[in-house]
Chains A and B, each alone.
Chain A
């Protein structure tokens, strides 16, 4: 699929016609509206049923009917919803960048092993450092609830550094892709080794982390997570033009005067920053990063990153909010792992969209 792209890719990319632009605006207005709606819905849904009117009162700073409701909305749901928005946007955008850069429809934000690096960092803390029962917190206690995120960031950062280093040396993106895979395998192997020598309750704790969750993020963590993700998103938006050029292959991009080496460095940097930060705070969140870019290409019938980048940010945020709302199983007191929901509900939906839009659409043209 990716190899015959150059002939197919042009239909309505960078030279957007006036007509398609107005259509685009309509779509974007709708998406923004949907995002706002999803945000409100996610604030008002949860295991504890709180009337919408109360939620609004709490948000506007008025005292709630029940004291615990105030804490639930402000400290639990608001953090969770903001996290979902950031995570959805970050993963979708990083996924789009990876798919374009590697011209591979199956690429996701974690294809270069960022995730495995982060997992290794967390495994080191949860599985090995924590053997003394309290060493986990004694060693990193001063950092408060940032310790796990820090461990994951260090792991992801190491893999990122390796990729950037290699990325500057190898010419071929596919070689880079394979090397990323290899880093990932190596990190996974070390994680497996740690699991092998761990106690069941530690393995259980690690397993829960690997299911992914938006609910574990506190205000304290958001203060670190949000700025990093916003920086990553900002860098990615600045890379719109290079991404469009790369759509047509590195040789073509080079002929257009693009410094491919620089472009690749910054794309890798922002995608890894986004993916690594998300994994550090929320655990490995699958599916969104690979599915949302496809969804947006179909929805907008465009491969132009000027349109796609804002679209994946919006759709990604909506998807994460909806997935989280389902995971909370409104009305019941149970909660499901987020990864289960994204894949279980997301996969059929994406298949349906792809099949429906097949006729007369550009479909996937990276």
Chain B
């Protein structure tokens, strides 16, 4: 998932914004043409061309309007009526994964359940309910500020379909084939030993995981598009693959999302909202969500408990430091410096690592578009500078903007970026396996800020820029 802290919120929106800006810098919308009257006065070649072109067009237009339209209008009307009525009845015929929260409220007795119920503690975006012989996964936050929830009923393979399911999407578990439209799902699959079930990914270019990358390159795993911001999904290829489940993220703008189209053709598409979680542990808890499709949520839950313990142990180390270091993040871009707000994923990690993040009091979980001079004034003397965009060396930073040299952290060389693990094509492991390993990220941060607290640890995702 490419949603870094700075880009997190914008990730889903930027294509739309981009569309607007493209139309702005286009050489001219139609009104910029000279008014039509000028054409007739031009004389010369253009005039002839225009008449030559328009002649057949008008003839064709006449043919279309007079001959075709008159005969076909009644037929068209009938066809249209048929299509409309078919569309109206279609939803009941198609598997309809979307239900409202209210309709999934059929209460079954949890005591009959053989499995220990798992409590979701940190993730705010999904719930897991145990019924007699099946489970209900509800994604309550499929995208930011969503008013719609998505419900998925997981029934054991071959079991009877429970009556109270309604029209929620039903998936037989354990699934045997899995399509991942975000790289963040790989580490969770790996944790439960199910990376082999991966049959297709959205894009092969930016994968970090060497085994997945190799399989995608050699064609053992299909590349089907449909990831956020990337090429649109190859629906035909997906239909051919006929996977048991397709997992994707969604922005809530139907035109930009892949799930409506897949839903329409009856493919089992499941929305994963991991990138919306503000807390690192909440994001990692989505491993249980993924494992549930394989019936392995117990295993994932135990792994998660161990992760929480590791995370809290390390965090406790840094909780009592006497002098907290001050931290600045990200870089300027053309005068705008996107700074993660105080309740964002990045800010929470910094807080848990015992650092004084300079914008930790700013409310919100997105990014603040600050001016360069504001950031300079506040962070000139910050002890550490983290996550400076695409930079891999101090020279890179200077090349972006010579004014960066004025920061104290730059002068003392305390600049660290999370690009220690990058594939040749630019796939960053921080955004891939980092989601599943927030304890390792936290250890990196504490090692950077207070090396004496973790003498054994060597930096994993982070590296110091030189």
Contact = CB atoms under 8 A, between A and B. Distances in A.
Given A207-B21, A208-B334, A71 B406 contact: yes
Contacts, number: 233
A201 B35 CA distance: 41
A137 interface: yes
Interface stretch (A168-176, A238-246, A344-352): A168-176
A177 B34 contact: yes
A192 B368 contact: no
Contacts of A103: 34
B371 A115 contact: no
A46 B26 CA distance: 31
Contacts of A17: none
Interface string B5-33: 01100111011011001101111100111
Interface string B44-68: 1110000000000000000000000
Interface in A168-188: 171-172, 174-175, 177-178, 180-181, 183-185, 188
Given A48-B377, A107-B32, A335-B369, A175 B45 contact: yes
Contacts of A47: 370-371, 373-374, 377
Given A72-B377, A200-B2, A116 B403 contact: no
Given A216-B334, A284-B24, A2 B35 contact: yes
Interface in A64-115: 68, 71-72, 75-77, 80, 102-104, 106-108, 110-113, 115
A170 B389 CA distance: 47
Contact of B372 (A141, A215, A286): A215
Interface stretch (A126-134, A228-236, A301-309): A126-134
A140 B400 CA distance: 11
Interface in A270-292: 283-284, 286
Contacts of A44: none
Contacts of B4: 201
Interface band, chain B: 35 or more
B73 interface: no
Q: Chain A interface mostly helix, strand, loop or mixed?
A: helix
B266 interface: no
B299 interface: no
Contacts of A336: 369
A183 B35 contact: no
Given A184-B27, A207-B14, A216 B335 contact: yes
A266 interface: no
A210 B336 CA distance: 13
B398 A333 contact: no
A204 B10 contact: yes
A191 interface: yes
Contacts of A108: 32
Contact of A208 (B37, B333, B392): B333
A165 B279 CA distance: 58
B371 A141 contact: no
A192 B22 contact: yes
Interface string B128-148: 000000000000000000000
Given A208-B333, A335-B335, A76 B229 contact: no
Question: Sorted from nearest, which 3 A-B pairs have the closest CB atoms?
Answer: A215-B335, A184-B27, A200-B229
9 contacts: A3-B38, A47-B373, A76-B403, A77-B373, A131-B426, A145-B399, A172-B45, A191-B22, A216-B334
Interface of A: 1-3, 46-48, 68, 71-72, 75-77, 80, 102-104, 106-108, 110-113, 115-116, 119, 130-138, 140-141, 143-145, 147, 171-172, 174-175, 177-178, 180-181, 183-185, 188, 191-192, 195-201, 203-216, 218-220, 283-284, 286, 328, 333-337, 339
Given A185-B26, A210-B25, 7 more contacts: A71-B406, A134-B390, A134-B393, A204-B11, A209-B334, A333-B371, A335-B369
